[in-house]
């Protein structure tokens, strides 16, 4: 498949650290053959349910005038997740490690561009549009083969091509819920990490959208007005955690009821910058706990219509103690969130 770097045994060996007497998830996880689509169809028939895909890029956040570093979240995740124990609590044989979107050429080009230069900023945003095409095509194939993508970013710009690919495969618009202090509903000013959902709504591939944990003062008036025009609801982090107007459980229930009423396939979106002290493209010391985020993933994953999980913006380099500490925190967080999604889906 074009623009896909497939995982193979050598790919796995870079991350898995075997130990005598134990079996790691990375030793049981499945891999695809060279003919990806035929292989996915065959693997689905043999019991595979989940396809893990990486998008190692940080062009989208930088094109949004933000900080880089999200390109290394994928490596951090694999180092942690693939070395978890394979035991009775997870069926690793239902998991396929597909590999990652080939972003290297776009990344290298992006390093020559500055977001402070108007012309170069426009070029950065064109690179994001090119990335959209690559991601969209791979997601469409995965979902068309009746498999569930688990996508590790990368910037939140990738929400658009994931939604596009899901819509293409399912031949209908979809619904999405996003745990994120930002609505990512900025103007259609060229592609970046801040307007994935506004572009998706404009293209009519996103019919329903619930923004959960929105920060009242981190979203411009026109973003919130645009949500209102589409009749897309939100519940703020202020009302949940700061003012305690609604409990976390009830806020999730409200989102779930909205999603169920949509009668659409449902995408689960989570921006790592919603989590307190998490090294991400944006950072907060007054957000949700990782346990809160895990509960959110668990609750929405219980919905039969949930058709993908997208974890965005983890940026190990943004940890104040340095890259190694950031890789540890991001790798652990992403692995826990992915396991929560898989274990929930495997239990229903």
Q: Residue 293 has what pLDDT?
A: 98
| Averaged pLDDT, 69-91 | 97
Going by pLDDT thresholds of 50, 70 and 90, the confidence category of residue 317 is very high
What's residue 138's pLDDT? 98
pLDDT (0 to 100) of residue 2? 87
pLDDT at site 223? 96
- pLDDT digit string, tens, across residues 251-301: 999 999 999 999 999 999 999 999 999 999 888 999 999 999 999 999 999
CA 183 – CA 166 distance, rounded (Å): 20
| Two tokens, residue 142 | 């995965």
Q: Which domains does the chain have, with CATH numbers?
A: 4-347 (3.40.800.10)
Distance of CA 206 to the CA centre of its chain: 16
Mapped onto helix, strand or coil, the DSSP state of residue 19 is: coil
| CA 86 to chain CA mean position, Å | 24
Q: What angle do CA 198, 200, 201 make, to 5 degrees?
A: 65
Total Cβ atoms within 10 A of residue 206:
27
Q: How big, in percent rounded to 5, are the helix, strand and coil portions of the chain?
A: 50, 15, 35
% of the chain beyond a pLDDT of 70? 100
Q: How far apart are CA 297 and CA 110, in angstroms?
A: 33
Question: pLDDT value at position 49?
Answer: 98
Q: SS3 of 147, please?
A: coil
Share of the chain above pLDDT 90, in %: 98
pLDDT digit string (tens) for 13-53? 999 999 999 999 999 999 999 999 999 999 999 999 999 99
The Cα–Cα gap between 92 and 138 comes to: 22
Write down the mean pLDDT value for the chain: 97
Pairing of strands 95-101, 148-152: unpaired
Find the mean pLDDT for residues 224-245.
98
User: pLDDT, tens digit, for every residue of 171-218?
Assistant: 999 999 999 999 999 999 999 999 999 999 999 999 999 999 999 999
Residue 1 has pLDDT above 90, yes or no: no
pLDDT 10s digits, 145-159: 999 999 999 999 999
The residues, any chain, with a CB within 8 Å of residue 317's CB and separated by 6 or more, are: 68, 69, 72, 279, 323, 326
In 47-117, which residue ranges form alpha helices assigned H by DSSP?
Answer: 59-63, 73-81, 104-110
């Amino acid at each position: 498949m074009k623009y896909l770097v497939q995982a193979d045994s050598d790919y796995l060996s870079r991350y898995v650290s075997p130990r005598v007497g134990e079996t790691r998830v990375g030793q049981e996880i499945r891999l695809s053959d060279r003919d990806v689509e035929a292989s996915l169809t065959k693997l689905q028939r043999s019991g595979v349910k989940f396809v893990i895909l990486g998008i190692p890029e940080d062009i989208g956040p930088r094109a949004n005038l933000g900080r880089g570093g999200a390109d290394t979240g994928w490596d951090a995740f694999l180092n942690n997740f693939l070395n978890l124990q394979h035991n009775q609590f997870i069926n690793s044989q239902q998991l396929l490690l597909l590999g990652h979107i080939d972003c290297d050429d776009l990344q290298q080009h992006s390093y020559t561009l500055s977001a402070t230069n108007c012309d170069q900023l426009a070029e950065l945003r064109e690179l994001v549009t090119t990335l959209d095409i690559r991601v969209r095509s791979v997601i469409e194939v995965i979902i068309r083969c009746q498999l569930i993508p688990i996508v590790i970013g990368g910037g939140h710009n990738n929400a658009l091509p994931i939604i596009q690919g899901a819509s293409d495969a399912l031949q209908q618009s979809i619904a999405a819920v996003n745990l994120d202090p930002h609505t990512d509903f900025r103007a259609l000013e060229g592609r970046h990490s801040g307007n994935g959902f506004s572009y998706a709504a404009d293209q009519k591939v996103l019919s329903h959208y619930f923004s959960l944990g929105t920060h009242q003062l981190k979203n411009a008036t026109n973003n919130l007005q645009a949500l209102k025009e589409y009749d897309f609801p939100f519940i703020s982090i202020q009302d949940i955690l700061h003012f305690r107007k609604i409990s976390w459980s009830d806020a999730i229930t409200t989102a779930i009821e909205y999603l169920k009423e949509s009668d659409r396939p449902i995408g689960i979106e989570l921006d790592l910058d919603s989590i307190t002290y998490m090294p991400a493209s944006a950072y907060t010391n007054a957000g949700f706990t990782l346990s809160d985020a895990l509960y959110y993933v668990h609750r929405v994953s219980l919905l039969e219509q949930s058709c993908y999980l997208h974890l965005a913006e983890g940026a190990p380099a943004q940890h104040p103690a340095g890259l190694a500490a950031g890789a540890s925190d991001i790798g652990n967080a992403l692995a826990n969130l992915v396991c929560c999604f898989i274990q929930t889906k495997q239990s229903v």
